[in-house]
Amino acid sequence: MTSDTPLTLSGAANRDEWLARSPEETFNYGRSFGARLKGGEIILLEGGLGAGKTTFTKGVASALSIPTNDVTSPSFTLVNNYQGRLSVYHLDLYRLEEGYGAAHAVDIEELLSEEEAVIIIEWAERMGDYPLPAPVWRVLIEGDGEDARRITINQIKR
């Protein structure tokens, strides 16, 4: 099932699935999602190399009045901070060992103390079952290369 309608982030509609046929559509779905953020959300981005995680993040940032040219993959810095309508912490755990150590390596507890910030974590599955406060959203992007991307977004209980 695919949807071109905006996400509803409350009530019973805590899940949506889209088919993005281009990087622009991935960006636009990120922007639709980002427009509804109020602060305090944690977004767990999962998908293979080149799936579009940073493109989706640029869309979220655009919705929060952050210049998209400022948004880059934090693969080497581990954490990037962007200021817009809300503060955004963009993390990339790809190079880190799996488990709680990945969360500690990026000082996740300190970032979580900024209750109004949005935290976007690429390769979030590397943290395992690290306890995170709600609200937590899982964004799974499936597909690579020239293939369309299936983007599944759902609120999760951790």
Is the pLDDT confidence value at 12 over 70? no
CB 108 within 8 A of CB 93: no
User: Which tens digit of pLDDT belongs to each residue from 116-156?
Assistant: 999 999 999 999 888 999 899 999 999 888 889 999 999 98
Q: Which runs of consecutive H residues, i.e. helices, occur in the chain?
A: 23-34, 53-63, 100-105, 108-112
**Predicted local confidence at residue 16, as pLDDT:** 86
**Predicted local confidence at residue 158, as pLDDT:** 54
CA quadruple 61, 117, 48, 79: dihedral, nearest 10: 100
CA distance 3 to 37: 19
Show Cβ contacts of residue 143 under 8 Å, excluding neighbours closer than 6 positions: 51, 52, 149, 150
Average pLDDT over the chain reads: 88
143 conformational bin, left if phi > 0, alpha if psi -120 to 50, beta if neither: left
Is the pLDDT confidence value at 11 over 50? no
**Predicted local confidence at residue 9, as pLDDT:** 43
User: Which tens digit of pLDDT belongs to each residue from 34-53?
Assistant: 999 999 999 999 999 989 99
User: Which tens digit of pLDDT belongs to each residue from 46-99?
Assistant: 999 989 999 999 999 999 999 999 999 988 889 999 999 999 999 999 988 888
- Average pLDDT over every residue of 23-31: 95
Q: Which residues of 70-86 are buried (b: 16+ CB within 10 A; e: fewer)?
A: ebbebeeebbbebebeb
Q: Is 8 helix (H, G, I), strand (E, B) or coil?
A: coil
Domains of the chain: 24-156 (3.40.50.300)
Distinct helix (H) and strand (E) counts, the chain: 4, 7
Closest CA to 58 of 43, 47, 68: 68
